[in-house]
Amino acid sequence: MVARRGQRLTIVGATSGDTGSAAIEACRGREALSIVILHPEGRVSEVQRRQMTTVDEANVHNVAIKGTFDDCQAMVKAMFNDLTFRDELNLAAINSINWVRILAQTVYYAYAALALGSPTRPVTFAVPTGNFGNVYSGYVATRLGLPIRRLLVATNANDILARFIAGAGYFKNDVISSISPSMDIQIASNFERLLFELYDRDGAAVRALIGNLDQTGGFDVAADKLDAVRRQFSGRRVDDDRALDCMARVWRECGTLIDPHSAAGVAAAEDQLREWQQDADVGQGADQSPMICLATAHPAKFPDAVERATGVRPDLPHRLADLLERPEHVTHLPNDLAAVKAFVRECRAG
């Protein structure tokens, strides 16, 4: 469609490891598209990085930023907020900043729920998350009528979302490097979308909250807003040791290798089910809906963590068997918006 109109899009995205390679695979070789993907240097796994940087197409541009995913994401948002720059380069987003990505992910919530008896049988989902995009898709599914009893937010040590749901406010800390790097995020972009709903779609109110996050490091919400969140969401922090233990036990008991992000979801689900059972034992009732744990990645993307937990080093899929031998194509840039914008403009021109 873009090519037929004689137009050209410049797609920009920030990735914590997984979205980038999927976006590049979809856009590689497209004459009417240039794609620029920012990733935090040294904060994605080698396999994740190479899935992006070994793509040898003229329209694909990988940028390693000396910073965190939050820094990468902030620069992408800043580019879109610069309306002159956005229009000049005909920018488009590819990660969960783009509403289409959120909408598409609602499909597997419906598919899984229907497979287990919905709409007559409510279900619960445990979702590993850092940027709140996947689990927000589940929330959208509930708004569309899918009977999801509860959405369990599973975080790693970067637990701003779990802390918020627990009532500690939304206050960012330094990003902690973990064995689940795609969840090493402190500022969850899609959480703003939930705030927008909580505040009756009052954009000014949400801008004020995010302003507090930028200026003072965080904010609290009123008790009624928090109660509304807790009616739909629970939150659990799963640190590295707990995730490693879960990976080892799933391999030992089921013969299945899971990656550390998926392990966060499984461990969070186990802890939540245990708590619900304790509630039942003391006569407070329990949630009896089936618990569905969403997996996130192939274990071979994180071979060091998987091998550390299980003693087994997972093989790459056949089509990626030579991935570690392919030459890389990547540009290293500082955490500087002007430098990144200049690079994006060069990519568009080239």
CATH of the domain at 73: 3.40.50.1100
Q: Give the pLDDT confidence score for residue 284 in this predicted structure.
A: 56
Give the model's pLDDT for residue 3.
61
For residue 57, give Cα distances in angstroms to 8, 21, 188, 288, 349: 16, 13, 31, 50, 15
Q: At what angle do helices 19-27 and 46-53 cross, to 10 degrees?
A: 20
Q: What is the pLDDT of residue 267?
A: 98
In a domain, 1, yes or no: no
What are the structure tokens assigned to 306, written together? 């998987």
- The three-state secondary structure class of 335 is coil
- At 1 the pLDDT is 56
| pLDDT, position 282 | 54
Structure tokens at 31: 């004459």
What was the pLDDT predicted at 98?
85
Angle (nearest 5°) at CA 322 between 317 and 326: 135
DSSP per-residue string spanning 141-206: HHHTT--EEEEEEEE-S--HHHHHHHTS-EE--PPPP-S-GGG--SS-TTHHHHHHHHTTT-HHHH
Picking from 9, 34, 18, the residue whose alpha carbon sits closest to that of residue 95 is 18
Q: What is the pLDDT of residues 234-257, one digit of tens each?
A: 999 999 999 999 999 999 999 999
Each residue's pLDDT tens digit, 271-330: 999 988 887 665 555 567 899 999 999 999 999 999 999 999 999 999 999 999 999 999
- Look up residue 294 and give its DSSP letter: P
Task: Give dist(CA 298, CA 332) in Å, integer.
Answer: 27
State both tokens at 104.
């598409």
Number of domains in the chain: 2
pLDDT at residue 283 in the model? 53
**What pLDDT is recorded for position 96?**
77
This prediction has a pTM of: 0.91
In a domain, 27, yes or no: yes
Contact 142, 113 (CB under 8 A): no
Same domain? For 306 and 322 the reply is no
Asked if residue 2 is part of any domain, the answer here is no
Residues of the chain scoring pLDDT < 70:
1-4, 6, 280-287, 350
The predicted pLDDT at position 195 comes to 97
Q: Which domain holds residue 16?
A: 9-95+317-349
